[in-house]
Amino acid sequence: MTTKKLKNIFPIDLYLKVLDEIPDTFGVYTFYHNERPIYIGKSIHLRERIISHFQQAKTDAKERKITQQATHLGWELAAGEYSALLRESTLIKKHLPIFNRKLRRQKSLHFMVLEADDMGYLRPKIKSTERVFDAKLDGYGPFRNQRHRLNLLNQLVSKHQLCAVMLGVEHTKSCFNYQVKRCQGACVGKESAVSHNQRLLSALETYMQQKWVYQTPMMFYEHDKKNHLKQCHFVDRWRYLGVETTTETDSTLDMMPSTQFDLDHYLLLKKIFSDEKIKKIKVPEDIALPI
């Protein structure tokens, strides 16, 4: 990463001495207070985005705090938009800058799976993300916490007249909605397991996680021919494993120290793997991956 000292030169000299050195292409940038990152961002127009922080500082309190506290500015190029997004997310989770909130690491995530009880009714159960993906289960979510999951179940009960007892929202013999004729009676045996299960599966369809359909780790790459930069990214079971960056003179392999499931990476990788313009390739066996 290229880094420039900014202390005592904001804002006039910055435009003259620093911004001219920043390429206006894909990349990630970091504002530092001394050696500590305080804000990390990405853009498809690196120079333009960095300039906007100083322009917006005139009217935006957060931007003003970032630019006033920054003593250094660093940036690095990316081979494409997806590469920049992945790099930004990775750096934010590593350094936890005080002015970045959205992409901070989520400590606990889980999925919901459906398991049949003795009567054949599907009941929601909690499973860890690793259990769902490693066993290739049909999972729904992910959920950040128990409240997040219960909020969804309550919405499904209300919208689709599903049984609150069967969904684990209420713990009584018959649910309140059955008493006020807003439940079809699965809790008292009036609605069959087949009927309730079909309605539950239909209501949850949009929340099902995308399965990892590959038998091996996969990779994809982006290539910025203008800047002679190629980045190859490695993925396995929706876990982002790392990147190989190749320039005209050098090649570096930067693997993630942790392969823990990450919600932001999962959502981004789902988008990438559904993009038909991005070619997905099986990872060669001679590349050592942290699996």
Residue 117 in any domain: the answer is yes
| Residues 77, 166 within the same domain | no
Measure the CA–CA gap between 231 and 63, rounded to whole angstroms: 31
**pLDDT digit string, tens, across residues 95-153:** 999 999 876 666 667 889 999 999 999 999 998 877 777 667 788 988 888 889 999 99
| Residues 151, 225 within the same domain | no
Residue 103 in any domain: the answer is no
Domain span holding position 268: 218-282
| Residues 7, 72 within the same domain | yes
Residue 13 sits in a domain of what CATH number?
A: 3.40.1440.10
Residue 91 in any domain: the answer is yes
| Residues 128, 57 within the same domain | no
Domain-terminating residue out of 187, 207, 227: 207
Residue 267 in any domain: the answer is yes
What predicted TM-score, i.e. pTM, was given to this entire model?
Answer: 0.80
Give which of 219, 218, 232 is closest to 79, Cα–Cα.
232
| Residues 73, 114 within the same domain | no
Residue 279 has pLDDT above 90, yes or no: yes
Number of domains observed in the structure of the chain: 3
Edge-first strand order for the sheet with 281-282 is 251-255, 239-246, 229-236, 218-224, 281-282
Residue 270 in any domain: the answer is yes
- Name the pairing type of β-strands 218-224 and 2-5: unpaired
pLDDT of residue 251: 92
Map tokens 């993300």 to a residue.
129
Residue 5 has pLDDT above 80, yes or no: no
Residue 14 in any domain: the answer is yes
| Residues 236, 184 within the same domain | no
Domain-terminating residue out of 95, 128, 163: 95
Cβ partners under 8 Å of residue 140, min gap 6: 111, 112, 113, 114, 124, 204, 207, 208, 209
Domain-terminating residue out of 44, 62, 95: 95
CB contact at 8 A, 246 and 229:
yes
As a whole number, mean pLDDT of residues 201-216 equals 90
| Residues 114, 201 within the same domain | yes
Residue 169 has pLDDT above 80, yes or no: yes
Give the count of alpha carbons within 13 A of 50, CB side only.
Answer: 26
